[in-house]
Amino acid sequence: MAAKHKADAQRFEELVIPLEKKVYYTCLQLMSNREDAEDCAQEALLKAFRSFHTFRAEAQFSTWLYTIVTRVCVDALRRRREIYSLDLLREEGFEIPSDEAEMYLKLEEAERKAALTAGIQELPPDFRAALVLVDLQGLPYQEAATALGVPEGTVKSRVSRARKALYNILLTKRELFPQNHRLNGERRESK
């Protein structure tokens, strides 16, 4: 028994190692803070190991693992009971003002990333999960759909709405930017 367990643990570890970073950063992007991210990632890996015997070799291990990871994170997010603004998720298109867009492009890379990370946190759990899996992790829609347990079409629509909401946040919620004073100053100068 013990020997079998050891073999299982070893095999599981081998499969997880190449995905470890992705698992951790997926959790980090979803949970928005390191503590929660570590907790969720650990819980997800433990859960995965506990049901490792149900994993069928024909399925892709990464998809199977992401399914568990996203589920753990989304559940944890839902438990937070935070209130998300659904205004941002309207289906109709959001016109991107060129001025504001240019301003984002002028930001330094670190600033853009900080704003992006902050913007993602504004999205409701299901939309955040879809965006993180597709746009951040680069999963094909089909795999993301499997991981989220929803049809592919649903993932596509969620990603599309999440993107629009994110654009909206990045361009209108100035307080998210680390140095909004400088930004405002720049704008004043340009006038």
Partner 1 sequence: MTCHETDFLLDAMSQGLLDEQQRAALDSHLEGCAACRFKHQVALDARSLMEEGEVPAAFSSAWRQQIRQEEVQPVKQSRHLIRWVAVAAALVVMVGGTWLAGQDRRLADRDSASAIGAVYTQEEFVGGMLDAAAPMGDMNLARSAMPKEAAPQDANQAEKIIRTVRMELTTRQFDLDQAQIQQAAEAAGGRVQDSRMYNNLQNLRSLYLTLRVPSARLDEVVASLKGVGRVQSFTESAQDITEQYADTAMRLKTQQAKMERLQELLTKAESMEDIIAIENSISDTQYELDRLTGSLRGMDSKVDYATLDITLNELSPLDTSKDKEETLTERIRSGVAAAFEEFKNLLADFVVFLSVALPYLLALVVLIIIIRLIVKRRKTK
Q: How far is CA 130 from the centre of its chain?
A: 7
Site string for partner 1, 91-130 (x = CB under 8 A): -----xxx--xx-xx---x--xx--xx-------------
Report the residue number, 50 or 83, with the smaller CB distance to partner 1.
50
Task: Measure the CA–CA gap between 138 and 172, rounded to whole angstroms.
Answer: 26
DSSP calls for 111-155? HHHHHHHHHHTTS-HHHHHHHIIIIIS---HHHHHHHHTS-HHHH
Task: Measure the CA–CA gap between 63 and 146, rounded to whole angstroms.
Answer: 7
CB 100 within 8 A of CB 92: no
Residue among 12, 163, 8 at smallest CA distance from 90 = 163
Position 11 contacts partner 1 (CB under 8 A): no
Site string for partner 1, 55-84 (x = CB under 8 A): ------------------------------
Q: How far is the CB of 81 from partner 1 (least distance, A)?
A: 26
Binding-site ranges for partner 1 (CB under 8 A): 1-2, 4-6, 8-9, 12-13, 16, 20-22, 24-26, 29, 34, 38, 41-42, 45-46, 49-53, 96-98, 101-102, 104-105, 109, 112-113, 116-117, 131, 134-138, 140-141, 160, 163, 166-167, 170-171
